[in-house]
Amino acid sequence: MFHSFLIKYAEIGVKGKNRYLFEDALIQQIKYGLRAVPGHFSLSKVSGRIYVECPEDYDYDETVKVLSRVFGISAFCPMVYAEDKSIEGIKKKVLQYIRDNYEDPHFSFKVDTRRANKAYPLISMEVDAMVGEAVLEEFPGTRVDVHDPEEVIHIEIRETINIYSKVIKGAGGMPIGTNGKAMLLLSGGIDSPVAGYMTAKRGVVIDAVYFHAPPYTSERAKQKVVDLARLVSDYAGPVYLHIINFTDIQMYIYEKCPHDELTIIMRRYMMRIAEELAVRNECLALVTGESIGQVASQTLKSLYVTDEAVKSMPVFRPLIGFDKQEIVDISERIGTYETSILPYEDCCTIFVAKHPVTKPNLNVIKKSEENLSEKIDELVKTAIDTDELIIVGKHKKNEE
Ligand code: ATP
Ligand code: MG
């Protein structure tokens, strides 16, 4: 059983004061992820390294799963300590390590010792040679290859003596909380959870908004969005999910505007409300799951007209250049796909016209929106005032 994990992170652009912010945010996120794994894990920051000390009898697979979802980690290495720090102690521990971790040790290897503790009586090269020899003797299927080894046995002589050879790939990106906050328009589809994931990967905290249209959209459709927000929160940390009741606005647009313009006008109102919520919650950008040309409402013209509704902040569309299959691949990998494809209606599909405009003209759309002038401000205000907030992913046992 491994005693601890060494956490590696890419340090590019993480210098001086930023380094502390980065490391502290990373530690915070590791703790957040590990709250779901039984037992007390302790984290330490020693000479510019982060270690996760594991409790006895912890769930290794679950711990690996959690760590591989933490943004900011480039790789992590499960380690054992040599409690007996003498060279004999180290040799014994390395042999034990190989026996425990390689069923039938047949590989080329080298030993790579790093001696941070200069008081240790042997230099790195001596440790390399002595441990290497012991491995060769004990396991006839192994051979030394210093140039292109299949396995590198790392020995670190520090406050502790650390032994590891496995390097598990991390999620990459930046720790959540190092890059401000954005408002994700989260629907029940495949795309927007992936867009949220990709934005969170750059260290951005995610708030989310879902436009619900009861009774045209069911409670189950809403629950599906809550579930998706929870899946996103496995990577992004707690998500503040705003549920906006969109029914009256939708009905009013339906009543007052040409039906082939309904989708685009509805989308403009979603953007406006999302922007207002973003301002109120100190978000610096909106995020959507749109990609060019995927559906009628995502032609470049439509995106142009949709975008024009937002006045005070950028709209990020991290999937803009992706094909559907590429988005599906990511959603399968991050675990949102199965939930996204559950067949509950979303509010756009119910009111869509048979032939929605695919090349909306901004002036024409603005003209149609004038038909809404009598009641729309009031309806928008009510929708925002009656916002239902669900905090997802905050506790060990989630609230919904
Ligand atoms: P998705 O798979 O994310 O649902 P989609 O391919 O169905 O996307 P649209 O329905 O055109 O595309 O929606 C485009 C984007 O608008 C979505 O990715 C999402 O960001 C946002 N959006 C659409 N409907 C809603 C809704 N009911 N609530 C919140 N955001 C929405
Ligand atoms: Mg959708």
The tens digit of pLDDT for each residue in 287-327 reads 999 999 877 778 999 999 999 999 999 999 999 999 999 99
Centroid of ligand 2 to alpha carbon of 190 (angstroms): 7
Residue 346 alpha carbon, nearest atom of ligand 1: 27
Give 38's pLDDT tier (boundaries 50, 70, 90). Answer: very high
User: Is 322 a pocket residue for ligand 1 (Cβ < 6 Å)?
Assistant: no
Instruction: Please report whether residue 399 resides in a domain.
Output: no
Using DSSP, state whether 109 is helix, strand or coil: strand
Same domain membership, residue 255 and residue 160: no
Same domain membership, residue 236 and residue 160: no
Mean pLDDT, the chain, rounded, equals: 93
Could you tell me which residue, 18 or 380, shows the higher pLDDT?
Answer: 380
Mean pLDDT, rounded, for 112-138: 96
Q: How many domains does the chain have?
A: 2
Same domain membership, residue 259 and residue 146: no
Give the residue among 375, 180, 135 at the shortest CA–CA distance from 285.
180
Could you tell me which residue, 382 or 351, shows the higher pLDDT?
Answer: 382
User: Is 346 a pocket residue for ligand 1 (Cβ < 6 Å)?
Assistant: yes
Give the residue among 75, 73, 77 at the shortest CA–CA distance from 23.
73
- Picking from 128, 149, 169, the residue at the C-terminal end of a domain is 169
For the chain, the residue count is 400
pLDDT above 70 (res 349): no
Q: Measured between alpha carbons, how far is residue 147 from residues 106, 127, 131 in Å?
A: 17, 18, 17
For the chain, the C-alpha Rg in angstroms (whole number) is: 27
Same domain membership, residue 294 and residue 228: yes
Contact by Cβ (8 Å): 196, 186: yes
Residue 295 alpha carbon, nearest atom of ligand 1: 11
Same domain membership, residue 213 and residue 156: no
Domain of residue 93, CATH code: 3.30.2130.30
Q: What is the DSSP string of 310-339?
A: --SS-EE-TTTT--HHHHHHHHHHHT-HHH
User: Is 210 a pocket residue for ligand 1 (Cβ < 6 Å)?
Assistant: yes
The DSSP H or E segment spanning 69 is none
Q: Which ligand is nearest to the CA of 186?
A: 1
Write out the residue range of the structural domain in which residue 129 sits. Answer: 4-169
Ion ligand 2: residues, Cβ under 5 Å: 187, 189
Residue 298 alpha carbon, nearest atom of ligand 1: 11
Sign of the four-CA dihedral 255, 256, 262, 268? negative
Same domain membership, residue 258 and residue 284: yes
Name, in order, each residue with C-beta under 8 angstroms of 234's C-beta and a sequence gap of 6 or more.
33, 69, 335, 393
Q: Which ligand is nearest to the CA of 197?
A: 1
Centroid of ligand 1 to alpha carbon of 295 (angstroms): 11
Same domain membership, residue 320 and residue 207: yes
Instruction: Please report whether residue 176 resides in a domain.
Output: no
Distance separating alpha carbons of residues 71 and 10, to the nearest angstrom: 11
Centroid of ligand 2 to alpha carbon of 247 (angstroms): 16
Instruction: Please report whether residue 175 resides in a domain.
Output: no
Centroid of ligand 1 to alpha carbon of 29 (angstroms): 28
Q: What residue spans of the chain are helical by DSSP H?
A: 16-34, 60-67, 87-101, 124-138, 191-200, 219-236, 247-256, 262-280, 300-307, 324-334, 337-340, 347-351, 362-370, 376-385
Q: Whose CA is nearest to atom 17 of ligand 1?
A: 289
Instruction: Please report whether residue 379 resides in a domain.
Output: yes
Same domain membership, residue 273 and residue 317: yes
Q: Measured between alpha carbons, how far is residue 33 from residues 69, 78, 168, 360, 397 in Å?
A: 8, 17, 17, 45, 13
User: Is 337 a pocket residue for ligand 1 (Cβ < 6 Å)?
Assistant: no
User: Is 189 a pocket residue for ligand 1 (Cβ < 6 Å)?
Assistant: yes
Mean pLDDT, rounded, for 196-215: 97
Instruction: Please report whether residue 111 resides in a domain.
Output: yes
Contact by Cβ (8 Å): 358, 295: no
Centroid of ligand 2 to alpha carbon of 191 (angstroms): 7
Q: Whose CA is nearest to atom 21 of ligand 1?
A: 185
Using DSSP, state whether 45 is helix, strand or coil: strand
Distance separating alpha carbons of residues 238 and 399, to the nearest angstrom: 12
Task: Calculate the CA 202 to chain-centre distance.
Answer: 9
Same domain membership, residue 187 and residue 154: no
Centroid of ligand 1 to alpha carbon of 193 (angstroms): 10
Domain of residue 220, CATH code: 3.40.50.620
Give the residue among 87, 154, 61 at the shortest CA–CA distance from 114.
154
- Picking from 169, 197, 216, the residue at the C-terminal end of a domain is 169
Q: Whose CA is nearest to atom 24 of ligand 1?
A: 187
User: Torsion angle of alpha carbons 178, 181, 187, 190, nearest 10°?
Assistant: -20
- Picking from 125, 147, 169, the residue at the C-terminal end of a domain is 169
Can you tell me which residue has the tokens 């390689």? 102
Instruction: Please report whether residue 400 resides in a domain.
Output: no
User: Is 177 a pocket residue for ligand 1 (Cβ < 6 Å)?
Assistant: no
User: Is 289 a pocket residue for ligand 1 (Cβ < 6 Å)?
Assistant: yes
Instruction: Please report whether residue 398 resides in a domain.
Output: no
Distance separating alpha carbons of residues 184 and 241, to the nearest angstrom: 9
Same domain membership, residue 118 and residue 52: yes
Q: What is the pLDDT of residue 348?
A: 55
Q: What is the pTM of this model?
A: 0.91
Q: What is the pLDDT of residue 350?
A: 60
169-183, 239-253, 342-356: least confident range? 342-356
Same domain membership, residue 269 and residue 136: no
Instruction: Please report whether residue 355 resides in a domain.
Output: yes
The model's pLDDT over 43-70, given as tens digits with 9 standing for 90+, comes to 998 877 899 999 999 999 999 999 999 9
Centroid of ligand 2 to alpha carbon of 69 (angstroms): 25
Same domain membership, residue 305 and residue 268: yes
